[in-house]
Structure formats: C-alpha cells, structure tokens
Amino acid sequence: MSREQHLIAIDLDGTLLKNDKTISMYTKKIIKKAKQKGHIVCIATGRPYRSSDLYYHQLELTTPIVNFNGAFVHHPKDHSWGTYHTPLSLEVVKEIVEVSEKHRVQNVLVEILDEVYFHYHDEKLLEIFSMGNPEITIGDLKNHLKKDVTSILILSDKQHVEKICHYLSSVHAKVVNHRRWKEPWHVVEIIKYGVNKAVGLQKIASYYNIPQERIIAFGDEDNDLEMLQYAGLGVAMGNAIPEVKAAANYVTKTNEEDGVALFLQEVLTL
C-alpha cells in the first residue's frame, strides 16, 4: 500500500494536537517521513486559518488547507490555486441572531474570515478568539454585520442550546449545517448547508489527482464524520466520539498516544 502516493488529511484539535495543543516530536517526525516518501499531507480543521497557520508551518506544509469545516479552502503558499469561501447569507444570520436573543443566549459570535463579531462583550471569549489578531467588533450584530458570514457560534447553557438546535433543524434545515460542541462547551456551530470538511478535501484530492481509495483521513468529532466517510481510509482517534468510531474504517490510539503517527507508520511502512 505504501508505494502509491496517498493524500493524508488530518484534523487538529483532539486528533493531531495533544490536549496541551502541541504536536509531539514523534508525530512531526513521522509526518516528515510520509512527505519524504511522496505522500501529500494537509490539515482539515474547524479553526480559521489564523489559528491553524502555526501548525501548518510547524509541519512545513506546502499544501492547501481546509478551514472553518470546509467553508474556507485555500492554499497559503500558492495564491493562484484559488480561494473557496462559502458563506451564510446575511438575512438568515440576522434571523438566527433574533431567535438567539429570545432564548437569552450568553453570546453570539460571528466570523467572516479574519473578522470576528461579538454580540455581547465577553473578556474570556475575547482572549480565546483573539489568536492571530483578527479585526474585532463588539455590539449588536444586527447593526454591525453588513455582509455574508463564514460561521456563527452560539454560546448558551445546555437547555437553550437544545432549543436553538431544534429551531435550526425545523426552520433552517435547508440553509444551514449546525452541530454541537462536546461537553463542557454548550456551543452551537453553524455554517452554510452542504458545507463540510469532505467538500474541501474533494477539491484538494482532485487538484492532486488522488482517487478516493488513496485518501487517509483522521478525526475525532462529528465535524469529521463526512470527511472520514469520504476517505478511502477513515481513521477515528481512540478518544473520538462513538459516532465517529462507528463511521470509521479503523480506530487508532488517542491524540495523547500519537494515534496519527502510529497508524501512518504502520500503514505506509514509514
């Protein structure tokens, strides 16, 4: 299997990254070996580029990257490759904000690539989302937003998150994709309908002319499901949620135990 060129797509949080948000030396070494053998390595994450470029550079990648769960796909090293931004319509976003206010959510956070908008001021969130120095705006989103948005995050308590999810499923099912973050976060993440990591990965695979059966994808969360199902080899981390393990072809060790590296080393005989 190792002789043919493979496309390796790796999620960041809970997959490539250990719990302290670093990549182990061993994993870096194995990924470098995979690249030396001619395999193509790319990142597919829910993060914006500004908070994933650190890892892109650490792995010395020269490939396109999937950000915002597929809502933004581009090539940091080659601007002629194209930029694929699939935003949500402003009209729908404003409706969602109004409903969120009725449910008295803690905050609504909107990202438009490198611009971040907070509905309410929140020091703790500002700290988390200021990585990579985005342009930050605080205040009523209905007044401040002027263009279509990349993604929405709604932060609330468990009970209200469930109500918001029910509303999105019943009213906007054909317009948005939404998912919940796992505990302890009570967050609903929303992007445009039909957009996911697999859509981004498809663009990268067709660019490199890699057939589906030679794609290996690693993930741990429900935003990785489509990507793992699309890949010829979908690999769930040992710490993945049960749905991801059920959808995968293989389950490797956890993100704390170098699961990505161990699997690649064995399958690609590195």
Are residues 188 and 199 part of one domain? Answer: no
User: Following DSSP, what letter does each residue of the chain receive, concatenated?
Assistant: -TTS--EEEE-IIIIIS-TTS---HHHHHHHHHHHHTT-EEEEB-SS-GGGTHHHHHHTT--S-EEEGGGTEEE-TT-GGG--EE-PBPHHHHHHHHHHHHHTT-SEEEEEETTEEEESS--HHHHHHHTTT--EEEES-HHHH--S-BSEEEEE--HHHHHHHHHHHHHHSTTTEEEEEPPTT--EEEEEETT--HHHHHHHHHHHHT--GGGEEEEE-SGGGHHHHHHSSEEEE-TTS-HHHHHHSSEE---GGGTHHHHHHHHHTT-
Q: Do 35 and 72 belong to one domain?
A: yes
Q: From the first residue on, what is the mean pLDDT of each consecutive set of 10 residues in the chain (270 residues)? A: 86 97 98 97 96 96 97 96 95 92 90 94 86 91 95 89 87 87 83 96 97 97 96 98 96 98 96
Show which residues are catalytic: 11
Task: Give the end of a domain, one of 169, 192, 215.
Answer: 192
pLDDT, position 1: 54
Which of 157, 192, 227 is a domain's end point? 192
Same domain, 220 and 154: no
The contacts of residue 39 (CB under 8 Å, 6+ apart) are 5, 6, 7, 8, 268
Same domain, 100 and 188: yes
Are 12 and 97 in a shared domain?
A: no
Domain boundaries, position 157: 90-192
170 occurs within a structural domain: yes
Residue 220 CA: distances (Å) to CA of 4, 36, 210: 26, 26, 23
**Do 22 and 52 reside in the same domain of the chain?**
yes
Provide the edge-to-edge strand list for the sheet that holds 233-236: 40-43, 7-10, 215-219, 233-236, 250-251
Q: How many domains does the chain have?
A: 2
In a domain, 204, yes or no: yes
Q: Are residues 219 and 138 located together in one domain of the fold? A: no
Residue 2 within any structural domain of the chain: no
Residues 80 and 212 in one domain: yes
Asked if residue 1 belongs to a domain, the reply is no
Q: The CATH number of the domain where 76 resides is what?
A: 3.40.50.1000
- The answer to the question of residue 262 being in a domain is yes
Q: Are residues 76 and 103 in the same domain?
A: no
| pTM, rounded to two decimals | 0.94
